[in-house]
Structures are given as C-alpha cells and as structure tokens.
Amino acid sequence: MSKSSKSLLFVTYQYPFLPGEYFIEEEIEYLAGTFDTVWVLPGRCLFWKPKEPPRQMPDNVKLLDPRDASWGQKLYWYIAGLAYTVIILLRWRSVWSGNPSVRVVSMLKDLKAVFKVSVTTLALRTLLRPLKCEGELIGYSYWRNFSAASLALLKAGGMLKRLFLRCHRVDIYHPQRWTSQALIHAYADGVFSVSMDGYLHLVNEKGLDASIIEVQRLGVAIPSVCAAASEDGVIRIVSVSNAVPVKRVELIAEVISKLPMPVSWTHIGDGPTMSLVRECCKDMPSDHSFNFLGRLSNQQVLDYYSKNAVDIFINLSESEGVPVSIMEALAHGIPVVATNVGGSGEVVNDENGRLIDVAASIEEIVAAIADLCGAGDLIQCRKEARRTALTMCSSDANYKSFCQRILR
C-alpha cells in the first residue's frame, strides 16, 4: 500500500497502553502503511495514569503522551477547561440534528463529558503546536465520544482538514444524546459504524444524517491454519471477554454445567463478576471441567487457538457491536454460539454456529449447543466459519478499504 503525504491524528481511549483496545494492534499496521506519520493520543491518559509501558507500535506511529507536558501546561488545560466547558454547553447543548425524541442526557453527566472534551481539545492544541505537521492533517477518533468531539473542535478551528470516527456499541446505542454528539455530527466527514445494525440505529432511531454514516467493519488476520477439533469425545468450548455484567460470563457457566455431554470450558478474561462465575462452577458434573486463564494479550489468545483444540466459541453478551473475539474464532474455523445482539447476527448464523435470542433460557441455549454437537454439523460449521471470516472479517480487505476511504 503506497503511503500518503498526509498525516493522521489518531485519538484512542487508552491504546497503546494496556489493558483494552487489543483490536487496534491489527489496524495500526495498515494506518502506518498508509500515512507518513500517525500521531496517537490516548485520551484517557489526561484523566488516568497508566501502570504499564505502552505497547510497541510501528516506527512512524508516534505517541502524543500528555504526561510529557509541563505542570504549567497541565494546569492551564484543567483551569481553562472549566471556562471552555461553559462556553461549549451554552453553544451546543440545545443543538441536535437528529430525531427530536432523543432526549439529552442529564446536566451532571453532560457537564463531566464536556469537561473531558474541553481538556482534551486544549491538550491536543498544546501537543500538536510544536510538531508543525506539514500537509493535510486528518483526524480519526476510534470512538464516538469526547475524543471525537475534541477533534471536531480542532476541525472547527482549522487544525484538521477532515474528521472521521468509528462507533461500536455504547457509543451507538446509548439511549440519550450528549452535547459532544452535536459537535461530532456538525463537523464529521464520516461516521463509521462497525455493523449494519449500528448504522440502522443511528439513521432510523437517532435520526442522524445518513449521508455521512456508513458501515466500515473491523477485521482480523486470517491465519494459515485453523484450530484443531477435539478427537476424544470431549467438546472444548472457549469464551473470551471481560467478566462484567453485560458479558454474562456467569450465564455461560450455568449453561456449561447443564450440557449433556463431556465438556471442557476455557474462559479468557477477568473482571468483577469472576467470583460469581466461580460460584456457578461449584456444582459442575464430574465429566465437565473449566479453566480460567485470566487476562491474556491478543497474541496469546491467537496462540491458544493455534496450539489447542477448540470446538465451539461462545458469547452470551446482552449487548455488542461486532465482537472481534467472534471474528477471530471464525477466522480459526471455530463454530460460534452467540446472542443475537448488535451486529453479532451479521457474522453468526446456523451455518457457522448458532444464533441465540438474547432472552433465551438456559435450557434453550443448552438445547441449541446440544443440537449443534449432536447433529454432526460441527465439521461443516468449521468450514462455514472460515468462509465467513474470509468474506466479511479479513483485516487485509477491511482495513485497506478503510484507509482508502479516509484518504478520499
């Protein structure tokens, strides 16, 4: 991919710092191959101190680290940010180009969010000034949040030529609107939902301008070799997610405990609901086993697939965008059982796994998994899982297309 003479200002939540945003590790390689320089600002670092060093990035990807600023600069961001917050709220809180029935969020929540917008905008102006970026500077926010609104203010001030952003789950489906969203949709050149379901929600439910909203899917690397299937009669099931209420890992544990065949369940991830998950595993049948590996890096998850037999990937979240974890499982030829939420139903179906109603009972989920295993469908499902990944989830296809889109 030939490089552009343009530079990219890429605002994340906390990438390249851990934990989280592991899926950026794949995309950043394509951004680095497209732009001369990619400047990365982890917006959360203005309000949070990382405990670990940043992840390694390509040579032409440069970290804009707020921690490098002087105390005087930081003091200015936060004090001036208070005044800027009032100005933004007065100008933008009553502005909304979408469906008027979408009610504005409470003033307290909005005040906190706009303060983040203000501080981030002031910090970006300070950090960008000495760089003297030549040519066009394009803004790209990984989320439809305070970071994207900060880039909108930079564009309004002439510091950015164009502005693009992705949106995933909460930043799409939140039932209320924020002042920051009025800013975003006033200045964004492209708002990219990772799923068609998200696109339809923004256009039909939120009533936003369809001309700047489109689907740009995330992607995963397609490995040369698929994960192995079990050959000993034990069904090996893997789940990958944070253990938080929305992910319902404890529901997975209850489902596993009631499956009528020998099962080995491995969960990768950690979080506050793990104690509840462990409690649910106390009465597992003797021919059932479980293994909790904790939080692993993205590469360690991929290594697990390459070195271990996996028969089914399971995700029972009550809300999703399009989980990268599901796409990675499909790429390794692993059938997927997932709830029909967000964009999951765009990549999971009865040909490559089972799509479950989010309100399904434990018994219904157990029956769906037993049917998948008992009908002799797993071998064919593995082929279909791989085919789905090749046609819809390839990082090489999706990220090349995305990079060319933001260069237009």
Here the CATH number for the domain that contains residue 350 is 3.40.50.2000
Confidence of residue 376 (pLDDT cuts 50, 70, 90): low
Tell me what pLDDT residue 378 has.
82
CA distance 373 to 352: 12
The answer to whether position 227 is within a domain reads: no
pLDDT at residue 20, as a whole number: 81
Residues 252 and 372 in one domain: yes
Separation CA 53–CA 18 (nearest Å): 8
Give 93-117 pLDDT, tens digit per residue. 999 999 999 999 999 999 999 999 9
Q: Does some domain include residue 228?
A: no
Taking a C-beta distance cutoff of 8 angstroms, is the pair 47, 78 a contact? no
* Domain match, 151 and 38 both: yes
The domain of 21 spans 4-219+396-407
Q: Are residues 215 and 116 part of one domain?
A: yes
Task: Give per-residue pLDDT as tens, 167-219.
Answer: 999 999 999 999 999 999 999 999 999 999 999 999 999 999 999 999 999 99
Number of structural domains in the chain: 2
Assigned domain for 359 exists: yes
One domain, residues 379 and 401: no
Q: Mean pLDDT throughout 152-163?
A: 94
Q: Peptide bond preceding 19: is omega within 30 degrees of 0, i.e. cis?
A: yes
What stretches of 336-394 show up as alpha helix (H) in DSSP? 362-374, 378-392
Structure tokens at 190: 């492209």
68 vs 212, higher pLDDT: 212
Same domain, 375 and 388: yes
| 326 and 178 within one domain | no
- Closest by CA position to 153, among listed 119, 112, 105, 177: 119
162-167 and 4-12 as β-strands: parallel, antiparallel, unpaired?
unpaired
Q: Do 285 and 209 share a structural domain? A: no
Whether residue 119 is contained in a domain is answered as yes
Q: What's the pTM value of the predicted model, to 2 decimals?
A: 0.90
370 and 400 share a domain? Answer: no
Among 4-8, 60-64, 220-224, 237-241, whose mean pLDDT is lowest? 4-8
Residue 226 inside a domain? The answer is: no
Task: Kindly list the distances between the CA atom of residue 202 and the CA atoms of 128, 142, 176, 323, in Å, as whole numbers in the listed order.
Answer: 32, 17, 12, 19
